[in-house]
Chains A and B, each alone.
Chain A
């Protein structure tokens, strides 16, 4: 009896997915791009410190408020007319810079306050993990006290319903194109930075063998700060893109998204930059296809089941753990 109901709803879900496949794909890729950007922060810090920075979700949340403030500072109201052309690009870039700056700075301050004192004392990794969780609660509750617990609306900056191009009959919207392309651009920039520059090489060296890195003259404290900064910048970028897409924020907006991004990082192989990129997109797609098959209410269940499955059957993730071993 129950089985037939489940089967019936599944076959209906399958039809829904088949008929709107490209719709689900593009939306899944869009949200996946945001997961990827946030996942990079988890993976970078893990690679260098072998620490899951659970307060990273709050760095993202702070970025969303940074973006919101930027629009208010420019005098936007939710009801304002939409921008186009050069003005739009200017507004977006301004919001991006503010969100990235705010998130990047918060990540650096977080490292100073929550992790560095522990590191100096030679504390265990468990202590750092608890400190991370404590910092996460402290930051989000501080925002709850300051901004209240209700959603705040992010103004619509441009006409999102505008179709940029048509993919197999599905109209791809402007915001989706913007999010996917800018996320990809940021990820390529980060990848190149870590691969090509001297400081980036220092990051890779510390991730692969921190003691030898020190013996070669890498300033480990500087690398750690840089790692938090890079992760924060990516989270800030993700924050603006998320605001453009979903248009609201509040104190705990980072929580579910943070756990999803963490899932993406583990899925791709934590510590591995390209793994975070892959994991984010795969998670976004799986989650979105799954919500078509099983119903939207199952979305989070699907993601976290995937996390459990990865940890059980392939704990090193798709591309394998380790920042350094990731090679082109």
Chain B
């Protein structure tokens, strides 16, 4: 198992946002966490990256307990995230933003970095066109591409994506999900948090449904896509 959350709890003050979530992600998989607003998806992802403290349970990465490991060390180990809201550095250029992705990499000076840049520009040609533009001036879709590209620059073993479709037009959403599939095909494991259950379930291997901080269902993504209760709750009713 590449990544394993074992009965993870997270509190904001006295309020428990995540109430014992267990999730596993195997190498090469695309796993998605779906659920409504406030279900604890983003908090779970932040706990994996270490920017939220876990108040109970454990997080294992490649078999090692990383529950207490500092966030920057987790990036070095191979966990990188494209956060909710994209988290672009507005005063840095597109290129500088991408370079932040390999901040921890020891080999960032060598030609490997150039090859990674080429790979990201290959996935997102728009970023290549705008490389000298400052991050704050990009459109929402371009910022999302930048956030994903930047996380890829870390060469993560598992890529965490938090709501990549948020606030984007349908055409762009389809494009982003296509690229996510392409990234997975190139060999990166992905843990994807989404409210757009339709797209997420189509692209993922397995899925977990979160409701008010708990996993209420987990199954192969295809099964959930055809599950009537799931369709009613998360896919906007039957058929289309």
Contact = CB atoms under 8 A, between A and B. Distances in A.
Given A215-B81, A216-B103, A219-B70, A208 B90 contact: yes
Interface in A205-224: 205, 208-209, 211-220
Given A215-B71, A216-B154, A217-B72, A198 B89 contact: no
Given A217-B75, A325-B90, A205 B51 contact: no
Contacts of B104: 216-217
A208 B71 contact: no
B40 interface: no
B149 interface: no
Interface string B172-215: 00000000000000000000000000000000000000000000
A201 B96 contact: yes
Interface in B135-165: 136, 150, 154
Contacts of A209: 87-90
A27 B80 CA distance: 52
B103 A217 contact: yes
Contacts of A215: 49, 51, 71, 75, 80-81, 83, 87
Nearest to B74: A217
Closest 9 CB pairs of A and B: A217-B75, A324-B91, A212-B87, A217-B104, A214-B71, A325-B91, A219-B72, A208-B89, A217-B72
A216 B100 contact: yes
A326 interface: yes
Given A201-B96, A201-B103, A327-B134, A218 B72 contact: yes
Interface of A: 198, 201-202, 204-205, 208-209, 211-220, 322-327
A201 B87 contact: no
A218 B136 CA distance: 20
Nearest to A215: B81
Contacts of A326: 91
B101 interface: yes
B132 to A, nearest CB: 11
B99 interface: yes
Contact of B100 (A205, A211, A322, A323): A205
Contacts of B154: 216-217
B92 interface: yes
23 contacts: A198-B103, A201-B103, A204-B92, A205-B100, A208-B92, A209-B87, A209-B88, A211-B51, A212-B87, A215-B71, A215-B80, A215-B87, A216-B75, A216-B150, A217-B71, A217-B75, A217-B80, A217-B104, A220-B71, A324-B92, A325-B91, A325-B136, A326-B91
B69 to A, nearest CB: 12
A230 to B, nearest CB: 18
A213 B88 CA distance: 10
A212 B100 CA distance: 10
Of A205, A212, A327, most buried by chain B (CB within 10 Å of CB) is A212
B76 interface: yes
Interface in B102-117: 103-104
Contacts of A218: 72, 100, 103
Contacts, number: 79
Contacts of B103: 198, 201-202, 205, 216-218
B152 to A, nearest CB: 12
B101 A216 contact: yes
B89 A214 contact: no
Contacts of A211: 51, 83, 87
B72 A322 contact: no
Contacts of A204: 89, 91-92
Contacts of B100: 201, 205, 213, 216, 218
A214 B91 contact: no
B89 A205 contact: yes
Contacts of A325: 90-91, 136
Given A215-B71, A217-B72, A218-B103, A322 B87 contact: no
A285 B103 CA distance: 41
Contacts of B50: 214
A202 B70 CA distance: 16
Given A211-B83, A215-B81, A217-B154, A327 B91 contact: yes
Contacts of A198: 103
Contacts of A324: 89-92
Interface string B218-240: 00000000000000000000000
Given A213-B100, A215-B71, 14 more contacts: A201-B92, A201-B99, A201-B100, A204-B89, A205-B89, A208-B91, A214-B71, A215-B87, A216-B154, A217-B76, A217-B104, A220-B71, A324-B90, A326-B91
A241 B49 CA distance: 46
A208 B214 CA distance: 33
A217 B89 CA distance: 14
